[in-house]
Amino acid sequence: MRSAAKKQKKILDLDARNRVTLPTEACEGVDAFAWERMNDGAIMLVPQQVISLEDAKLLRMLKGSIADHKAERVSRIPVQWLEDDESKL
């Protein structure tokens, strides 16, 4: 007979300054955590990755371009944008 895998609750200790140290496996691939207090008093940690301002600007531009495409505000793409030579951009 198989036993069902149960989620184990892990208790984290607070130090004298009310800081919590997260286990290494919880931090893999994460630069920082945002936190949010839930209605029931629980605290949710949301993994974050830090990117450069240049990458953030590019991401905003791409999201705007996708929104324009979905709203059918794009009639055509200039041919030079499709070329691989970045010096022409």
Q: Are residues 18 and 42 in the same domain?
A: yes
| 44 close to 35: Cβ distance less than 8 angstroms | yes
In degrees to the nearest 10, what's the CA dihedral of 50, 24, 13, 18? -20
| 44 close to 38: Cβ distance less than 8 angstroms | yes
Residue 5 lies in a domain: no
Residue 28 lies in a domain: yes
User: What residue type is 86 in one-letter code?
Assistant: E
82 or 13: which carries more pLDDT confidence? 13
Structural domain of residue 84, as residue ranges? 53-88
- Predicted local distance difference test score (pLDDT) of residue 10: 75
Q: Are residues 21 and 32 in the same domain?
A: yes
| 46 close to 38: Cβ distance less than 8 angstroms | no
Helices (H), the chain: 24-27, 53-70, 79-82
- Predicted local distance difference test score (pLDDT) of residue 86: 61
Structure token pair of residue 10 = 């892990």
Q: What is the pLDDT of residues 8-40, one digit of tens each?
A: 677 788 899 999 888 888 889 999 999 999 999
Q: Decide: pTM greater than 0.75.
A: no
- Lowest-confidence segment of 17-21, 42-46, 52-56, 74-78 by average pLDDT: 74-78
Domain count, the chain: 2
Residue 6 lies in a domain: no
- Predicted local distance difference test score (pLDDT) of residue 82: 75
